[in-house]
Amino acid sequence: MSDLHIRSATPADLDAVLAFWKTAAEGTSISDDRDGVERLVARDAKALIIAEYGGELVGTVIAGFDGWRCHLYRLAVHPDRRRLGIGSALLAAAEERFVRLGGRRGDAMVLQRNETAHHAWRAAGYTPEEKWRRWVKPLGA
């Protein structure tokens, strides 16, 4: 996919990203709204990485670094564009970002029921960390 273009999202991309996630992402998040994604980009303009092919949004990943850990969220590739290397290109861009920032290990949020994603993450060199469990608490209203 020589015409694949990987770049950081801008505020102008956010509506397209939110619509894309409804088609390509597995599950939803409490932050999957305009305010949530605007806060992400305002706080860290390079965290939301998108892939475009022929001007069409075909993939995303959020590569967040808090100064301590490297977190990966919302790796999503359009269903009609999977298995073409888009996810790998997005992960490579995220990992390069983490290395530049001094990150040492990436961790990914992956739904247990999403077997397709498990194969993709394993192929990229990631393994499940079975001794840890994610604990969550919604904040605010």
Q: What is the CA radius of gyration of the chain?
A: 15
For 68-86, write each residue's pLDDT tens digit: 999 999 999 999 999 899 9
**Cα–Cα distance for residue pair 100/58, rounded to 1 Å:** 25
E strands, 1-134, are 4-8, 48-53, 56-65, 70-77, 106-108
Whether 21 contacts 74, CB under 8 Å: yes
**Residue whose entry in the numeric block shows the structure tokens 């996630």:** 21
Pair of tokens at residue 108 = 């990914």
For 90-106, write each residue's pLDDT tens digit: 999 999 999 999 999 99
**Full-model pTM:** 0.91
